[in-house]
Amino acid sequence: MSMLLAVVAFGLMILAHELGHFLVAKASGVGVRAFAVGFGPPLWRSRRGGTEYRLNALPLGGYVRLAGEDFEEEPGPDAFRSKGVWTRIAVVAAGPVMNVLLSVLLVATAAWAYGLPRRVTTVVATVRPGWPAAEAGLRPGDRIVAIDGVPLPDGQTMVRTIHRSAGRALRLSVDRSGRRFEVTVTPRLDPRLGVGITGITPAVERERLAPHRALLWGVQQTVRSMREMVIGLVRLVGSGDVLQELAGPVGAVRLLGDAAQVGFDSYLFMTAFLSVMIGLFNLLPLPALDGGRLAFLLVEAVRRRAVDPRREGYVHLVGFALLLLLVLALTYRDILRWVGERNF
């Protein structure tokens, strides 16, 4: 189920991105020949108003095909190349902007429907089967009052103690409906996070926000995420570790699946985070990305003369091929990591 939710989230991010291009193109009088989510053979298709709508089998991307994008075709009045440079900039930029707006909406929805975490408690909310806590007999609703005889003042202290104790047996004092008993649990090292995990999720006290406050908080958190991503990217470029830190579609789906297992609010937050990441990544001035196309358009706006469209097309074609190779390499590495963690 968590993997299905991950695929749905991935499709939603793609849909939002392509919908941005689609809506601004339509509003600007640019003809849209095709609007597709996914690649590969179509699962569903329909033609309306001169546009073919497609849902394809592989939900790893999507595209909007605009009139006049084929450089061999003579541009008509509704062609993308026939419009003013600032209209074309708006069409291209609309995709990443929609990813940012989706993030705002998802974060606001989570803050309104589930609330913001204010305090972590020592009460067990969930227990994952097959993990040390489940093997020790812990159940949802149990309250952990002490670890190794030391009383717990709050849930944060409990979490920190468990995280720092991978491979070390902990004696937990547990209160279950007024009955006190002790169990021994040995946190298992999570190879991805590098911390000890027992398989419990502590309950969290939350504050639900009114719709207007939730929307404002969504804007604030999305802006903060964007700022932190830009700072992080600059640091990675400076250190030369960009490729080591990148993840492919498989890695993104795993992150979404893990978040869905924690709770639907975590799933919404992770989807929002990845949506912003997709938006910012697409703004990088690299061929085949929206940022690469925007770079050519900005050059045109400054020079007041378009770059030779065929030359630009060749640059994007090469860029797309290199981007596809990068995605395949990252996917291969993600699979190797996943297999290695399962064997761990």
Would you name the residues annotated as active-site residues? Answer: 18
| DSSP state at residue 32 | E
Q: Which residues of 20-55 are buried (b: 16+ CB within 10 A; e: fewer)?
A: bbbebbeebebbbeebbbbeeeeeeeeeeeebebbb
Q: Which residues of 88-116 are buried (b: 16+ CB within 10 A; e: fewer)?
A: bbbbbbbbbbbbbbbbbbbbbbbbbebbb
Name the packing angle between helices 2-27 and 264-282 (round to 10°): 40
The dihedrals phi and psi of 68, each to the nearest 5 degrees, come to 85, 5
Contact predicate 153/122, CB 8 Å: no
Compute the C-alpha angle 66/59/241, nearest 5°: 95
Q: What residues form DSSP beta bridges with 202?
A: 124
